[in-house]
Amino acid sequence: MTMTDDVQAKPKQAFDKAALQAKYLAERDKRLRADGNEQYLRVEGHLAHYLDDPYTPVTERAPKTDHVTFAFIGGGFAGLVTGARLVEAGIKDVRIIEKGGDFGGTWYWNRYPGARVDIESQEYSYSFSDALQDDWRWTERYAAQPELLSYLNHVADRFGLRKDIRFETRVASAAFDEAAGRWTVRTDKGDTVSARFCIMATGCLSVTNEPKFPGMETFKGKSYHTGRWPHEGVDFTGQRVGVIGTGSSAIQSIPQIAAQAEQLYVFQRTPNYSVPAHNGPIDAQKVEHWKANRAELRQKARESGAGIVAVEPTELSALAVEAEERKQIFESRWKQGGFAIGGAFIDTAIDPAANATAAEFVAGKIREIVKDPRIAETLTPKSYPFGTKRLCVDTGYYETFNRENVTLVDVSQAPIEAITPTGLRTDDGDYALDSIVYAIGFDAMTGALNAIDIRGRGGMSLKEKWSGGPLTYLGLMVAGFPNLFTVTGPGSPSVLSNMLVSIEQHVDWIADCLAYLGDRQLSVIEASPEAEAGWVAHVNEVADMTLYPKANSWYLGANIPGKPRVFMPYVGGVGVYRELCNAVAAKGYEGFALSGQGA
């Protein structure tokens, strides 16, 4: 199938979206090729051919040129708070660039059925503005994607950020001009932005893992990726649907798809541990408690390990209590729901014997919920310790496998061979499908940064520098790349924490750093290679003290063939990490070289 065939096959809409998309893709290809992005284009072309592309109608516009102090990339949670903080500081020369058609980042793209946050809404929200916190009311304990998107749009409007943003615009390259001490950012729409500081708010899970099954181009049905879900939604009524993957995205969407489809096949390679969310309307008493104690609770989150108050970690070893007491503790955490179970005992992430108690508890729950013992067995993880792949939080996931119209297909022993014109073939047989949902995750943490041709001093390529794994100082800056900040970059707690706590901590640190530079008439900050090497060694050392490296997880890049196997996030906890970052700042930005003359 060619792209033209694909476009022609789509039904015409009033505004002829297909023609606009084709024109846009062709133009974009030309520009990106001119910028030397052949490799990226192959990936995009692949998706454009085989998946239902959720791009919103493309607004054609002439290329623009900007000269600003701050350019930042990304209009999700990280980009919005960066923008809002700059507005609050009275800084006006800002340019935001966002590839989506609106604000939202993760919550703009991930619109699959059942998409919702798995940290309680009150905790998964900004703390930087009291007025914002006073005004916004969440309706559910765990907000669903549409509510999160409304929240983010509310923030954008409240802080007047729409005027500073270019939507539907993808950054192709960013290069540091040493003579001028400025970054030149170029986009796929031909824009050029010259900026003193470049802030990457590109997200940790924003570049989808591409499906690369043989025969995909022959499939006659519809194909979707959970991370690029069509904005108009999908109706699976009466369909035979295949979901590939059993990570968080699949675990949230499977119960919803099962309720709609005629028949659902779940193709599972590795089972995941999942705990119930116990979602529902937000509890009025909890809202009052949060309101009355907000400052204290927010501070508690900042000083904690995962940045989540609801986890309530204990100092108790899982091995220091009798089996019955241990079971009761796990049971009460299971009833509480969400990540609370992760805080039940202090040693489940570091001691294999302690970890095994948590694994056995969840295995027992799976056996209780799933009626067919063989299905329960297949759903039970065995190849890695509990919690070392990201824990999933679900609503009725295991229960879904009691439905007549749901079939679990274990592709660990009989792998997926090919996509066929009529469905999917494994080593064991053929499955007839009308739609395929690829819930196969993301090129995490480094994917979005490596998709941009970022060049530092002497034309050094970030992608080449990171060919053996990401190298950063504090996950915030990279030696050889002055004035380039990475919000929740690799080497920071990021994905091992409540992203909101980590994002705000980074943005606070960056804001203080910029004020420090401004006060001293300095204009350039750059990590030293020695500080960077020391930090990378520390990140690895701490990870090796835990059980995390024992799982083939996306934390290690293990889900992307050829990606270096390096544990990317900092596992030391957000509280400890914050202290380390603050200590660096208090010592005059130790490990950084500061130079230049004013902004």
| CB proximity list for 118: less than 8 A, separation 6 or greater | 142, 248, 277, 338, 339, 392, 393
Q: Using CB atoms, what's the residue nearest to ligand NAP? A: 247
Nearer Cβ to ligand NAP (248/400): 248
Question: Given phi > 0 = left and psi -120 to 50 = alpha, else beta, which region is 419?
Answer: beta
Nearer Cβ to ligand NAP (273/589): 273
Single out the residue of 352, 357, 362, 354 nearest to residue 317, CA to CA: 354
Nearer Cβ to ligand NAP (173/426): 426
Nearer Cβ to ligand NAP (108/442): 442
Interface residue list for ligand NAP (CB under 6 A):
116-118, 205, 226, 244-250, 252, 269-270, 390, 411, 416, 439-442, 495, 554, 559
Nearer Cβ to ligand NAP (241/510): 241
Nearer Cβ to ligand NAP (197/555): 555
Tell the smallest beta-carbon distance from residue 231 to ligand NAP (Å). 18
Tell the smallest beta-carbon distance from residue 124 to ligand NAP (Å). 8
Residues 79 and 98: beta-carbon distance below 8 Å: yes
Tell the smallest beta-carbon distance from residue 382 to ligand NAP (Å). 13
Instruction: Give the pairing of strands 429-432 and 392-394.
Output: unpaired
Q: Which amino acid is at 240?
A: R
Tell the smallest beta-carbon distance from residue 389 to ligand NAP (Å). 7
Nearer Cβ to ligand NAP (408/479): 408
> What phi, psi does 426 have (nearest 5°)?
-110, 175
Tell the smallest beta-carbon distance from residue 205 to ligand NAP (Å). 5
Nearer Cβ to ligand NAP (511/547): 547
Tokens 């000083």 — which residue? 303
Tell the smallest beta-carbon distance from residue 330 to ligand NAP (Å). 22
Nearer Cβ to ligand NAP (311/416): 416
**H or E stretch covering 84:** helix 77-88
Single out the residue of 473, 416, 21 nearest to residue 230, CA to CA: 21
The 3-state DSSP composition of the chain as helix, strand, coil percent (nearest 5) reads 40, 20, 45
Tell the smallest beta-carbon distance from residue 561 to ligand NAP (Å). 9
Quick one: tokens of 346?
């202090």
Cβ contacts of 26-35, under 8 Å, gap ≥ 24: 28/170, 28/188, 28/189, 31/172, 31/188, 31/189, 31/190, 32/172, 32/188, 35/172, 35/173, 35/186, 35/453
Tokens 């041709």 — which residue? 453
Quick one: tokens of 440?
């196969």
